[in-house]
Structure 1
Amino acid sequence: MIVSTGLACIILVGCFVVLVAIRVPVSFALGLATIPVVAMDLRLTPFLIMDRVFQSYNSFILLAVPFFLLAANLMNSGKITDRLIELARVLTGWLPGGLGQVNVAVSMLFAGISGSSTADAAGCGKILIPAMVRQGYDTRFAVAITACSSVMGVIIPPSILMVVWGGVMSISVGALFLAGAIPGIMIAGALMATVYGYAKVYGYPTAGKPTLAEFWSAFKGAGLAMLTPVFVIGGIVGGIVTPTESAIIAAFYSFILGAFVYRTITARELVTILYDTGRFASISLFAIGTASAFGWMLAFFDVPRLIVGLLTSFEMGSFGTAIVIAALFLLFGLFIDAIPTIIILGTVLFPVATAADIHAVNFAIIGIVSLAFGLVTPPYGLCLLISASIGGLNVVQVVRDVAIILIPMLVILILLITFPEIALWLPKTLMPKSVL
């Protein structure tokens, strides 16, 4: 039997939706959804699908994922996060809503080192949420701002999502890193303005003006850690190292800081860090494999061509198509982890973006920023779940504040769609050959 495009699409998507609805983990649901079509179509065999899964792992660039996760875990265990928080406090704590401003600033600093939003939410949240509550901040606001600010981990370079996107779609990871810098700073600015508004309405305190001695102590304490993004981004942009090599450098440098400079990582802790990193990396990489098989099945049955034809027939132009693309990423991000979404939806919509004259790098930034919302929106909302757990709240109790904080972030996304040069200016300036 030869399965038609329409029937294959219905079976694949239908099985996946049913499996997710009955709480089968997304990575398993993606793999299991392919089984009925393989059984029905004579052209397909289980070995062909397994080969597709293993081919997705045969990518040097994806080695960067576990090493960036390792760097983030080493940062948290090595108490480097504490030093970043102290630096953020002297830089922004004197503003209205002091600890809220510190929360945003430290997320921005941590994002420039780890590339992981969940590590940011866990590491910074454990310290800042209890501290904010002790100073009189509403617990719901403390949880919401921690969750929302942590999404900068996947936008500000280095970013694990950008590594995956570049590897899957053959786009310069260095260009993606540079393209995420300005949008990340804009989102940080929007979040700080939101904190300012909350502080004025609810009378939240400042963290006090630092002395020159405190400034010097904070810069001295966090200065070595802040060299990490210089090594990572500078090495890639300068053409000295690949993204994978830069991730290894970040992990090795984090280990040196924690074990020998600050002496906060013991041999026993190192074993735990390696185990946790391996566990989380295996979850991400397994999702990449099953999502690649699912995406390949969609491509085999010409589903992307069908979607391209459907969307281009509406003649929406670049702006309209970009809005639809962002909306689809926002919708998928509500239910599915970002990495499988990139592999499935990203590869399907890439031809649509190309047909609408949307630059590949700008398409990536629109997709990644849209997916970042999914980290703090139920029912998936992994960063929100982590932050709410730390604050001892139910997710439903925090949704109102999250929605308020996300509004200015949504405005930033619309600006990125309206003015593509916001994201493209930096890579065009520093890596012009990579964005032709």
Structure 2
Amino acid sequence: MTAVMLTTMVLCFALTVSVAVSIGLAAILGIQVSNANMLISVKEMFGAINKFPLAAIPFFILAGNLMETGGISRRLVEFAKSIVGGIQGGLPMTCVLTCMIFAAVSGSSVATTFAIGAILIPALIKHGYPKTYAAALQATSAELGVIIPPSIPMILYGVSAEVSIGELFIAGFGPGLLISAALMFFVWAYCKYKGWGKNDGEGRLGFGKATLQAGWALLMPVIILGGIYGGIFTPTEASAVAVFYALVVGMLIYREIKIRDLYAIFRKSAISSSIIMFIIANAGLFAFLITRAGVPDAIGRWLEEVLQSPAMFLLGVNAALFIIGMFIETSAAIIVLAPILAPVAMHFGIDPVHFGLIMVVNLALGMITPPFGVNLFAACTVARISLDQIIKHLLPFVGVILLCLMVITYVPGISLALRDLVYR
């Protein structure tokens, strides 16, 4: 059964069948081969999405779309530009900083790519940066959307591995800040080397004026994250608060969202949420079948025999996840692999929260690596270029993220220090 499922899934991937359909078809064939009752599929698919924390996903997606339409993202760009935009290479640094702030509410890298990229990619091109560099920078910076909390992949890992989502969220700040700082330093040094961005400060608002304009936008992550860590509401409840706040600010304060805009916003959010939920449902059925077949236990025993130390286990897992992330969508990969790998990691004495951050950061790389990097497609759509054109400028960014991943992997304190301070 397992061989049939894996072969079917890989074959479908090779034929460019969508991830959700590939996983679902493989699971259905697995049920047929094992002569199990097809009612299992209905039960397990419903059970996979019938979890309270998953309700946060459509709300965070909706909040991100409301922020994009309501002028919140544009004001965040002006605020970030007022901080770092005055130096050479300040505009690319503004892109990284804005994505970091936007990520503290949206939870989605694709939403971050469209919301911030629509503003900054044209601005970067106008200031003389190559179009391909602007798109590669935006795709990479938007990766922070799934690393800095709140994060949809963290929610999925928490549900799949039965780990506290609140602990995952607070542990995500360390890796997120590390990657942000590394990217900002790299783009500054690269622009110095290339001689780009000497006029990045043109049209830059003063810090006070930019802060005043962005005040309501900046208050949003404070309310959301402060409410979660202050125990006022759960991460799922926070997602609903984010939607309400973005709606009020966009319609009543900034007045950039009109009644006629709501249908398009809700429709876009519903489609995005449905795609993710369909992937989760199919992946849940697939995970149930391979678990019943004993695959997780077999893999766990094999890993224990081959990779006999925690350091080697983490190295092997990182290499495997990096390759897997190139071909399988992040959400599906987490749902399928987290129940398999998290128990093995705990056997090696690795904190499940730390391991969750390693998985999320690594698989987030898949969003900016060909052939199926969703951020690449989004950034190329905004910049109106083909995927092959972006590769040259993308590779150095991938190298920076890989270096940060190694640091996050082997220095657990980056992920766990703040978590231990708050929860222990």
- TM-score, with normalisation over the residues of structure 2? 0.97
Instruction: Pick from 64, 82, 93 the counterpart of residue 90 of structure 1.
Output: 82
**Aligned counterparts, 1:293-372, within 5 A:** 293-372=285-364
Quick one: distance in 2 between partners of 1:376 and 1:315?
28
**Aligned counterparts, 1:180-191, within 5 A:** 180-191=172-183
Three-state SS of the structure 2 residue aligned to 1:156 is coil
Q: What is the deviation of 1:160?
A: 1.1
Q: Partner letter of residue 309 of structure 2?
A: G
Structure 1 residue ranges, 4+ long, deviating more than 6 angstroms after superposition: none
Residue equivalent to 1:242: 234
- Aligned pair count? 423
Quick one: distance in 2 between partners of 1:382 and 1:59?
26
**Aligned counterparts, 1:42-53, within 5 A:** 42=35, 44-53=36-45
Quick one: distance in 1 between partners of 2:222 and 2:338?
29
Q: What is the deviation of 1:214?
A: 2.0
Q: Structure 1 regions of 5+ residues with no counterpart? A: 1-7
Quick one: distance in 2 between partners of 1:80 and 1:275?
20
Residue equivalent to 1:151: 143
**Aligned counterparts, 1:273-312, within 5 A:** 273-312=265-304
Q: Structure 2 regions of 5+ residues with no counterpart? A: none
**Equivalent pair of 2:307/2:316 in contact (CA under 8 Å):** no
Q: Partner letter of residue 34 of structure 1?
A: A
Q: What is the deviation of 1:391?
A: 1.6
Corresponding position: 1:414 with 2:388? no
Q: What is the deviation of 1:210?
A: 8.4
Q: Partner letter of residue 12 of structure 1?
A: M
Residue equivalent to 1:178: 170
Instruction: Pick from 48, 52, 55 the counterpart of residue 56 of structure 1.
Output: 48
Corresponding position: 1:135 with 2:127? yes
Change (3 A) 1:131 1:315: closer
Residue equivalent to 2:34: 41
Instruction: Pick from 5, 11, 21 the counterpart of residue 14 of structure 2.
Output: 21
**Equivalent pair of 2:160/2:338 in contact (CA under 8 Å):** no
Quick one: distance in 2 between partners of 1:380 and 1:95?
35
Between the aligned residues of both structures, percent identity stands at 35
Three-state SS of the structure 1 residue aligned to 2:201 is coil
Q: Partner letter of residue 74 of structure 1?
A: L
1:51-103 Cα distance to aligned partner (Å, 9 max, x none): 00001121111000000001000000101111000001001101221211111
**Equivalent pair of 2:28/2:41 in contact (CA under 8 Å):** no
Corresponding position: 1:166 with 2:161? no
**Aligned counterparts, 1:154-233, within 5 A:** 154-206=146-198, 207-208=200-201, 214-233=206-225
Instruction: Pick from 399, 412, 421 the counterpart of residue 391 of structure 2.
Output: 399
Quick one: distance in 2 between partners of 1:180 and 1:351?
20
Q: Partner letter of residue 191 of structure 1?
A: L
Quick one: distance in 2 between partners of 1:180 and 1:95?
29
Moved more, 390-399 or 62-71: 390-399
Q: What is the deviation of 1:36?
A: 2.2
Q: Partner letter of residue 54 of structure 2?
A: L
1:360-415 Cα distance to aligned partner (Å, 9 max, x none): 00110000000110001001111111111222221111112111112121111101
Q: What is the deviation of 1:19?
A: 1.1
Q: Partner letter of residue 312 of structure 1?
A: E
Moved more, 291-300 or 219-228: 219-228
Change (3 A) 1:314 1:263: same
Q: What is the deviation of 1:191?
A: 0.7
Change (3 A) 1:425 1:210: farther
Q: Partner letter of residue 419 of structure 1?
A: V
Three-state SS of the structure 2 residue aligned to 1:94 is coil
